[in-house]
Structure 1
Amino acid sequence: MSLEITTKLTGTLLQVKLTGRLDAIEAPALEQELTAIPAGSQNIELDVSELSYIASAGLRSLLMAKRTADKQNVELVIKDPQQAIKEVFDITGFNKFLKIIYSEQEAEPLAAPQGFYPLRPVQRWLVDTHFHKANSTMMNVGALGKLDDSVDMERLAEAVNGVLNAHDVFRCRLVFHPDTGEICQRFDGSVKKIVVETLSEEAFAQRKLELEKPFQLIDRPLYRIYLMVTPSGKFIYEDFYHAIMDGTAICLLFWREMDMRYQGKKIRRQAGSYADYVLEEHRELQTGAEEGHDYWRQQLAGFDTQKHLPPMDRQDDGKWHESQVICEIQNIRHDFFRERGTNEHSFMLGAAMLAMAKVTGEKEVIMSWVHHARNSAKELRLMGLMLNQLPIRSTLREDMTAAQFLQSVEAKVQQGLSYARSLDAVYNEDLEGECASFILQKNTDAKAAFVLDGKPITIQDMPANKRSAAENVLDIALTALDDGSYTLTLTYDASRYSETMMQRYATAFDEMLLAMQAEDRCLAEILS
Structure 2
Amino acid sequence: MEGIIMNFAIRQERQGDTLTMFLTGEFNKLAMDAFDKEFLLAAEGVKELLLDFSGVTYLSSAGLRSLLQAAKIMESQGGSFTVLYPQEVVMDVFEMTHFDRFIHIVREGEEQAPINSAYYPLRPIQRWLTDTHFRRAKSTMMNTGALVRLEPAVDLERLAAAVNGLLESYDIFRCRLVFRPDTGEFCQRFDGKVEKVYVESLSEEGLEERKQELKQPYDLIDRPLYRVNIIKTPESKYIYMDFYHAIMDGAAIALLFWRELEKRYTHGNEAVAAKRQPASYAEYVRAEADLPKDELVKGRAYWENMLAGFDKDKHLPPMDGGNVDEGPEHEMETPIEGIEKGFFKGKDFGENTFFMAAAMLAIAKAAGRREAIISWVHNGRVTSAERRLMGLMLDQFPLRWDFEGDMIVEQFLPQLEARINEGIQYRKGMDKIYEEGLEAGCACFILQKGTLGRRGSVKLGDTQAVIEEMPANEISAAENTLDIELNAHDDGTYSLVLDYDPHCYSRKAMEAFTEQVEKMAVALQDGGRKLAELL
Q: TM-score range by the shorter chain?
A: 0.7 to 0.9
Per-residue deviation, 1:472: 0.8
Counterpart in 2 of 1:501? Answer: 509
Gaps of 5+ in 1: 1-100
Map of 1:128-143 to 2, 5 A cutoff? 128-143=131-146
Using a 3 Å threshold, how does the CA distance of structure 1 residues 200 and 285 change in structure 2: closer, same or farther?
farther
Match of 2:464 among 437, 443, 456: 456
Per-residue deviation, 1:316: 8.6
Q: In the aligned structure 2, how far is the partner of 1:498 from the partner of 1:169?
A: 39
Counterpart in 1 of 2:376? Answer: 369
Per-residue deviation, 1:201: 4.4
Whether 2:315 is the aligned partner of 1:303: answer no
Q: In the aligned structure 2, how far is the partner of 1:515 from the partner of 1:161?
A: 50
1:262 counterpart letter in structure 2: Y
Q: In the aligned structure 1, how far is the partner of 2:315 from the partner of 2:328?
A: 20
Per-residue deviation, 1:463: 4.1
Per-residue deviation, 1:401: 1.0
Per-residue deviation, 1:287: 4.7
Whether 2:489 is the aligned partner of 1:486: answer no
TM-score (norm 2): 0.74
Checking the alignment, whether the CA contact within 8 Å between 1:138 and 1:469 is kept in structure 2 is yes
Per-residue deviation, 1:394: 0.9
Counterpart in 1 of 2:250? Answer: 247
Per-residue deviation, 1:340: 2.7
Q: In the aligned structure 2, how far is the partner of 1:489 from the partner of 1:439?
A: 10
Map of 1:260-339 to 2, 5 A cutoff? 260-264=263-267, 266-267=271-272, 268-270=275-277, 272-284=279-291, 286-314=293-321, 323-339=330-346
Q: In the aligned structure 2, how far is the partner of 1:370 from the partner of 1:123?
A: 14
3-state SS in 2 of match to 1:518: coil
Q: In the aligned structure 1, how far is the partner of 2:444 from the partner of 2:323?
A: 20
Checking the alignment, whether the CA contact within 8 Å between 1:353 and 1:365 is kept in structure 2 is yes
Per-residue deviation, 1:181: 0.9
- After superposing the two structures, state which structure 1 stretch, 244-253 or 341-350, moved more: 341-350
Whether 2:173 is the aligned partner of 1:170: answer yes
Checking the alignment, whether the CA contact within 8 Å between 1:139 and 1:465 is kept in structure 2 is no
3-state SS in 2 of match to 1:355: helix
Per-residue deviation, 1:239: 0.9
What does the per-residue CA deviation read over 1:167-200, in whole Å, with 9 as the maximum and x for residues that have no partner? 1111111110112212111111111111122334
3-state SS in 2 of match to 1:384: coil
Using a 3 Å threshold, how does the CA distance of structure 1 residues 146 and 320 change in structure 2: closer, same or farther?
closer
3-state SS in 2 of match to 1:115: coil
Using a 3 Å threshold, how does the CA distance of structure 1 residues 209 and 322 change in structure 2: closer, same or farther?
closer
Per-residue deviation, 1:320: 12
Using a 3 Å threshold, how does the CA distance of structure 1 residues 476 and 467 change in structure 2: closer, same or farther?
farther
Match of 1:222 among 221, 225, 231: 225
Whether 2:444 is the aligned partner of 1:437: answer yes
1:335 counterpart letter in structure 2: G
Counterpart in 1 of 2:74? Answer: none
Counterpart in 2 of 1:191? Answer: 194
Using a 3 Å threshold, how does the CA distance of structure 1 residues 518 and 208 change in structure 2: closer, same or farther?
closer
Using a 3 Å threshold, how does the CA distance of structure 1 residues 362 and 335 change in structure 2: closer, same or farther?
same
Per-residue deviation, 1:450: 2.8
What does the per-residue CA deviation read over 1:193-217, in whole Å, with 9 as the maximum and x for residues that have no partner? 1112233445444322321211111
2:382 counterpart letter in structure 1: N
What does the per-residue CA deviation read over 1:421-471, in whole Å, with 9 as the maximum and x for residues that have no partner? 011111111111200011111131254123322323243434442455761
1:264 counterpart letter in structure 2: H
Checking the alignment, whether the CA contact within 8 Å between 2:170 and 2:278 is kept in structure 1 is no
Match of 2:408 among 397, 401, 407: 401
2:120 counterpart letter in structure 1: Y
3-state SS in 2 of match to 1:478: strand
Q: In the aligned structure 1, how far is the partner of 2:203 from the partner of 2:307?
A: 54
Counterpart in 1 of 2:394? Answer: 387
Counterpart in 1 of 2:122? Answer: 119
3-state SS in 2 of match to 1:281: helix
Q: In the aligned structure 2, how far is the partner of 1:400 from the partner of 1:522?
A: 6
Checking the alignment, whether the CA contact within 8 Å between 2:478 and 2:500 is kept in structure 1 is no
Q: In the aligned structure 2, how far is the partner of 1:427 from the partner of 1:407?
A: 28
Per-residue deviation, 1:271: 5.1
What does the per-residue CA deviation read over 1:357-385, in whole Å, with 9 as the maximum and x for residues that have no partner? 12112011100011111111221111111
Checking the alignment, whether the CA contact within 8 Å between 1:293 and 1:422 is kept in structure 2 is yes
Match of 2:482 among 461, 474, 487: 474
Using a 3 Å threshold, how does the CA distance of structure 1 residues 518 and 117 change in structure 2: closer, same or farther?
same
Map of 1:199-238 to 2, 5 A cutoff? 199-238=202-241
Checking the alignment, whether the CA contact within 8 Å between 1:322 and 1:491 is kept in structure 2 is no
Q: In the aligned structure 1, how far is the partner of 2:403 from the partner of 2:215?
A: 45
Q: In the aligned structure 2, how far is the partner of 1:187 from the partner of 1:341?
A: 42
Checking the alignment, whether the CA contact within 8 Å between 2:349 and 2:414 is kept in structure 1 is no
Per-residue deviation, 1:218: 0.5
1:422 counterpart letter in structure 2: G
Using a 3 Å threshold, how does the CA distance of structure 1 residues 437 and 295 change in structure 2: closer, same or farther?
same
- After superposing the two structures, state which structure 1 stretch, 320-329 or 303-312, moved more: 320-329
Using a 3 Å threshold, how does the CA distance of structure 1 residues 299 and 170 change in structure 2: closer, same or farther?
same
3-state SS in 2 of match to 1:215: coil
Q: In the aligned structure 2, how far is the partner of 1:304 from the partner of 1:438?
A: 17
3-state SS in 2 of match to 1:435: coil
- After superposing the two structures, state which structure 1 stretch, 173-182 or 308-317, moved more: 308-317
Q: In the aligned structure 1, how far is the partner of 2:438 from the partner of 2:418?
A: 22
Checking the alignment, whether the CA contact within 8 Å between 2:249 and 2:394 is kept in structure 1 is yes
3-state SS in 2 of match to 1:189: coil
Q: In the aligned structure 2, how far is the partner of 1:237 from the partner of 1:477?
A: 23
Per-residue deviation, 1:312: 1.2
Counterpart in 2 of 1:153? Answer: 156
CA RMSD across the alignment:
2.6
Checking the alignment, whether the CA contact within 8 Å between 1:284 and 1:421 is kept in structure 2 is no
1:511 counterpart letter in structure 2: K
1:128 counterpart letter in structure 2: D
Aligned length: 420
Using a 3 Å threshold, how does the CA distance of structure 1 residues 378 and 469 change in structure 2: closer, same or farther?
farther
3-state SS in 1 of match to 2:346: helix
What does the per-residue CA deviation read over 1:284-306, in whole Å, with 9 as the maximum and x for residues that have no partner? 26455222222222211211111
Checking the alignment, whether the CA contact within 8 Å between 2:331 and 2:498 is kept in structure 1 is yes
Using a 3 Å threshold, how does the CA distance of structure 1 residues 416 and 470 change in structure 2: closer, same or farther?
farther
Counterpart in 1 of 2:528? Answer: 520
Per-residue deviation, 1:341: 4.2
2:524 counterpart letter in structure 1: M
Q: In the aligned structure 2, how far is the partner of 1:363 from the partner of 1:493?
A: 25
Checking the alignment, whether the CA contact within 8 Å between 2:443 and 2:482 is kept in structure 1 is yes
Counterpart in 1 of 2:49? Answer: none
